[in-house]
Amino acid sequence: MEQWIIEVVGAFGYVGIFLLMLAENVFPPIPSEVIMPVAGLAVGAGRLSFSLVLIAALVGTLVGNLPWYFIARMVGRQRFLELTARWGRYAAVKPADVEAAITWFDRHGSKAVLLGRLAPGVRTLISIPAGLSEMPFGRFLLLSAAGSAIWITLLLLAGVILHDHWHRLATVIGPLGTALVLLIAFGLVLWIGWRRWSDHRATTRATEAPPAPGGDAT
């Protein structure tokens, strides 16, 4: 994969970077953690411009964000809940969990999109709840651009600075990216567990509550 990315960037320059970053956001196995340091290597060698690489990568990323967002919007919340009710049991997912997640996204979606663009794997998937919750397209695009610009710039700078030793970046970014994804997943599990416990406690209290006085007047 690394050698192929090096060849694409070397042969097609800015267009290759644009296409690779577009593909990375549609097919997550193509990693920006490799694409951008390779581009940074070319910048450090004087073959490419830092600003043009950044623009090509960011535009490619934003274009790649659009398919999942629009697919989710076309499917819609109700249809997605119906699909979850039919097939979700195979993944231990209930419609109530999906509804709660979308409701949470309605309240915190801006932060989720901004920070999600910094997390490997999550970068692509965050477009789906944004579409399901019908986040305004302009806001979605702006937040995606801001978060992606931070991530792309950091990777590009790392490639420029490390230059011939750019491959060492994988030994750092890989574990950090995995830790970030695990942290997000752990937080989500805690939140779902807390919500279910709260619902159970509320139901128990309602069941055990004494009847209102004066209800059996004779």
Dihedral sign computed on CA atoms, order 203, 108, 133, 58: negative
Structure confidence by residue, pLDDT tens digits, 169-217: 555 555 555 555 555 555 656 666 676 677 667 777 767 666 656 555 5
Query: Rounded to an integer, what is the distance from CA 26 to the centroid of its chain?
Result: 12
Helix and strand numbers (H, E) in the chain are 8, 0
The contacts found for 45-51 with CB under 8 angstroms, 24 or more apart, are 45/163, 47/13, 48/13, 48/14, 50/156, 50/160
> Is 106 or 114 the better-scoring residue by pLDDT?
114
The number of residues making up the chain comes to 218
Local confidence band at 32 (pLDDT 50, 70, 90 cut-offs)? confident
Q: Which of 98, 26, 96 is nearest to 64 (CA)?
A: 26
Structure confidence by residue, pLDDT tens digits, 49-82: 999 999 999 999 999 989 989 988 888 878 877 7
The average pLDDT across 33-39 equals 84
Question: What is the model's pTM?
Answer: 0.70
**Domain ranges for the chain:** 2-198
